[in-house]
Amino acid sequence: MPQYPKILLTLLLFVVNTQAGAQIYQNWNLDFPTSQTGAAQEHFLDGVTYMQLHMFEDAEKHFRVAQELAPDFAMAYWGEALTQHRTIWSIHRLDVAREVLARLAATPAERAAQAPTAREQAYLAAVETLFGAGAFLDRQTAYSEAMAELTASYPEDIEAAAFYALSLMRETPADSHRN
């Protein structure tokens, strides 16, 4: 019996390494259109895929590459900021997320101007709420409500529904004290 975990790990590493040349999002059939195209969009899609797999460090790397390729790509900053809210582990890096958003532009209004579609503006507004002013519990609830609205506005957007569901998964108890 002790050999089975080693065999499975070896097989997993083999599969991962053979797929290394392909974009990871293609393996998971991720569909998350944005206003961006080309290599920046592909890195964005890989970032979202890694984020959904809770592989946040890998996600951050892909979002940063997307930013390097397209410095005004608002959704790449959205993604990197959102990696700082690791719901299932109750990790919320407020200052880091705010620094990421500030790299896009100084204010929420200036950042919103970088998002060329109403859908992308809604995603950015939701993350602005999560990392904006106010108490953590209030921001977390407001973010969840923003994701519910985004999901209702774009019912075909499976990723919106996934992020909304994740926002509901760990509503912090009212007696919790976070930043």
pLDDT tens readout for residues 38-74: 999 999 999 999 999 989 999 999 999 999 999 999 9
Residue 179 lies in a domain: no
**Percent of the chain scoring above 90 in pLDDT:** 69
Domain enclosing residue 46, as ranges:
38-168
* In the predicted structure, residue 2 carries a pLDDT above the cut 70: no
Residue 32 lies in a domain: no
Residue 60 lies in a domain: yes
* In the predicted structure, residue 37 carries a pLDDT above the cut 80: yes
The CATH number of whichever domain residue 79 belongs to comes to: 1.25.40
At residue 55, the 3 state secondary structure works out as coil
pLDDT at residue 91, rounded to an integer: 81
Residue 129 lies in a domain: yes
Residue 27 lies in a domain: no
Domain count, the chain: 1
Q: How confident is the model at residue 11 (pLDDT cuts 50, 70, 90)?
A: very low
Q: How confident is the model at residue 19 (pLDDT cuts 50, 70, 90)?
A: very low
Q: State mean pLDDT over 83-107.
A: 92
The radius of gyration of the chain's CA atoms, rounded to the nearest angstrom, is: 17
Residue 13 lies in a domain: no
Q: How confident is the model at residue 18 (pLDDT cuts 50, 70, 90)?
A: very low
Residue 2 lies in a domain: no
What does pLDDT average to over the chain? 85
pLDDT at residue 87, rounded to an integer: 80
Q: What is the pTM of this model?
A: 0.82
Contact yes or no for 97/85 (Cβ under 8 A): yes
Q: Which residues, at least 6 apart from 59, have a Cβ–Cβ distance to it below 8 Å? A: 46, 47, 48, 49, 50, 51, 79, 80, 83
Residue 125 lies in a domain: yes
H-assigned helices in the chain: 3-18, 24-28, 38-52, 56-69, 74-82, 94-104, 108-114, 118-130, 136-153, 158-169
